[in-house]
Amino acid sequence: MPVQCYENVSKDVKKIIKIDTENTSYVIGVIDDEQFLGHIYYGAYLNDYHLAYALRIQENPFVPSQNNGERLSFLDSFSMEYPAHGLGDFREDCISIEMPNGSTGLSFSFVSLNILEEKPRLSGLPSTFGDKGECTCVEIVCEDVHTGLKVVLLYTAFEKADVITRSVRIVNAGKAPLYLTRVLSACLDMDDKEFEVLSLHGSWARERQIKRMPVGYGRYSVESLRGESSHQEHPFMALLTKGTNQEYGEVYAMHFVYSGNFKALVEKDQFDQIRMVMGIHPEDFKWKLESGCEFQAPEVVLVYSGEGLGKMTRAFHDFYRNHLIQGTYRDKERPVLINNWEATYFDFDKEKLIQIAKEAAQSGIEMLVMDDGWFGNRFDDKRALGDWYVNEEKLPGGLKALADEVNGLGMKLGIWFEPEMISPDSDLYRAHPDWAIAIPGREGSLCRNQYVLDLTQREVVDYVYGRISQILHSANIEYVKWDMNRQLSDIGSAYLPADQTGEIYHRYMLAVYELQERMLKEFPYLLLENCSGGGARFDPGMLYYSPQIWCSDDTDAIERLKIQEGTALIYPLSTMGAHVSACPNHTVGRSTPLETRGHVALAGTFGYELDVTKLSEKEKEMISLQIAVYHKYNELVRCGDYYRIASYCENHFYDCYGVVSKDKTEALYTFVQVLGRPNHRSRRIYLKGLAPEKKYRIEGEEEINTGDVLMKAGYLVQNMWGDFRSRLIHLTEV
């Protein structure tokens, strides 16, 4: 059984709860007369449950029933499963409240345990899922007897995936309303193992750069207060034992299934104990919880690997492909699209779009995506957001006429939306200035000349959805790029009362989820691609609704090596929106060979971001060849196991990664020479993921080698002349 509960293990240990996957175990203890819930173990699979000793309850200061005079010392050192605020645990806590009398202290005792055969959906939130037999859930209910507040801790073991997910539901069973001022979703307490912390950082055009550093005393956090998961930080954190690489070392990883403000933190205390927590950022969060009401916190995905970062990566990839991504395109090849943004920006009309579509269709491109500028008075980024009515000066006959003509060329049509935003210079704002998020009486801060709609208002949500629905019904639109180009600030609402202003950030995020849920329910055939000024909302929450997310506005092939390496650390390649764009690149000004741009974009959804009408015949021929390569390898790239072989971020000369089919019969490795080397011999790379005993032939070469040889003795990549050169290395079993 994946979940076992053992009673009266020792005098002080009342229960041990053991949650197993095929290769990992998670162990919790209930101790003392007060039924404290303690964390015992998370890591490699254990075949035994006799772990009472690991709680250290016979060490000074003992448990409160034996030495209540040192209760504070106990609370400040005990490994808590879900630590609460204010009564003596001075480490980072997971939950805090404000009572009507101003008190904040909480202490939870175990009440009950319930094993579920099916995973419940989290109300209003994206979350992972599993069919009956794929996962087992356990609910642990704890209660603070003084306030009547209950926490329902939900653990789900996905046995074959080697993943455990956690979430928490808060129930006010007391008689009075209270305010939640902090609700984090997961905590891990354990001894330090000379850990390093790995996190992902960046900015616009350089998202998800990998950073590693030793864990020192004190607290280190990764967080966003921007109303989105953000370009700057990412809702992911991993602890690594010293020296961990792709194949060796222990990894403890947490990933947050949420798209708004978050906090991930690791703390090393006076006793060399480690606490790692993750959840909604408590700053500017204050949720009024009436008597009898509940609050559902988002989910955290936990992955343990005892075989380095590579195994962690493949666990996340498989888990998200099978248990988070959904919809029509989850297991399908995505259409090769061309987006007109970098081709035209706002300067386009129907005639120009059809010119692009005609040339694109001849090269084998399958979808035209019309980006910003097709609605209202939208001739630049200073106006018209919110006025979701077709500009028939640009598009005579509206979207239907455009769709019909594009479809007549054998192509699909997609469009860009930014439904969450409103321009001050718009008909919508002039009619409803109170629909923007704003502090009453204070002029709001603009970003990209726009405000954010107050989606805490039901009227606003229904209006926005009504416009989306009407537009999608008006023509054969098969793809939506949902964008969000600014952060949230100036938090205030004309709708919510003053004592609920602290709910705006989370209510806003729930409304975005609701809008996308409604859209996909009404238009289930849509391919949705989320975007936020590039990759500011590349997170598991968005992945629940869209099988792909725009990875970054920086489409330069060399910059993308770094961005895509960090993204692929935890996300399947099939989720990464990646395009071949024009050169010199519009973001960095670099020129790279078209072949290299194609090879790098192949490790993603694959598409184009350029004006195909301005290309030479040779370049058009290259595009046709690239599309053929995409179709040839897509199933392998989309479904295979990912292996990182070399990192340009680390060696500064070359990049190399591979994808291997599940049955080990086929593999594709991408090698990018960033800097050419004068007077050098070939570069030796050590392939990964092959079956040692199988024999492989590399496409275009006669020699046959075993996987054992290619992984241990390596493969020689001949020196290529010049910078920014690349090569695909395709292996098949013989």
Residues belonging to the active site: 483, 553
Classify each residue of 333-371 as buried b or exposed e, where b means 16 or more C-beta atoms within 10 Å of its C-beta.
bbbbbbbbbbbbeeebebebbbebbbbbbebbbbbbbbb
Buried b (16+ CB within 10 A) or exposed e, 569-594: bbbbbbbbbbbbbbbebbbeeeebbb
Two tokens, residue 278:
């993750």
Question: What is the rounded CA–CA span in Å between residue 386 and residue 458?
Answer: 16
Nearest-angstrom CA–CA distance, 143 and 346: 57
CA distance 362 to 142: 63
- Among 570, 574, 551, which Cα is nearest to 237's? 570
Encoded tokens for 436: 């923007």
Residue 16, CA distances (Å) to 38, 49, 300, 303, 470 in order: 9, 7, 22, 21, 55
What DSSP character marks residue 251? E
Integer Cα distance of 119 and 117 in angstroms: 7
- Which residue from 127, 206, 126, 128 is spatially nearest to 536, judged by alpha carbons? 206
User: Rounded to whole angstroms, how far apart are CA atoms 13 and 40?
Assistant: 11
Q: How far apart are CA 656 and CA 630, in angstroms?
A: 18
Please tell me the chain's helix, strand, coil percentages from 3-state DSSP, rounded to the nearest 5. 25, 30, 45
Residue 242 CA to its chain's centroid (Å): 26
State the Cα–Cα distance between residues 17 and 1, nearest whole angstrom. Answer: 12
Spatial separation of the C-alpha atoms in residues 68 and 70, rounded to whole Å = 5
Peptide bond before residue 214 is cis, with ω within 30 degrees of 0: no
Indicate the residue type of 305. Answer: S
Instruction: Please name the residue that has the structure tokens 């050419």.
Output: 676
Residue 201, CA atoms < 13 Å, CB-side half-sphere? 10
Alpha carbons 276 and 304: distance in angstroms, whole number: 14
DSSP 406-444: HHHTT-EEEEEE-TTEE-SSSHHHHH-GGGB---TTSPP
Torsion angle in degrees (nearest 10) through CA of 490, 496, 499, 502: -50
Residue with tokens 């350029």: 610
Whether 553 and 448 have beta carbons less than 8 Å apart is answered as no
Distance CA 80, CA 87 (A): 13
- Token pair for residue 540? 């598991």
Reference 533, options 230, 224, 258; nearest CA is 230
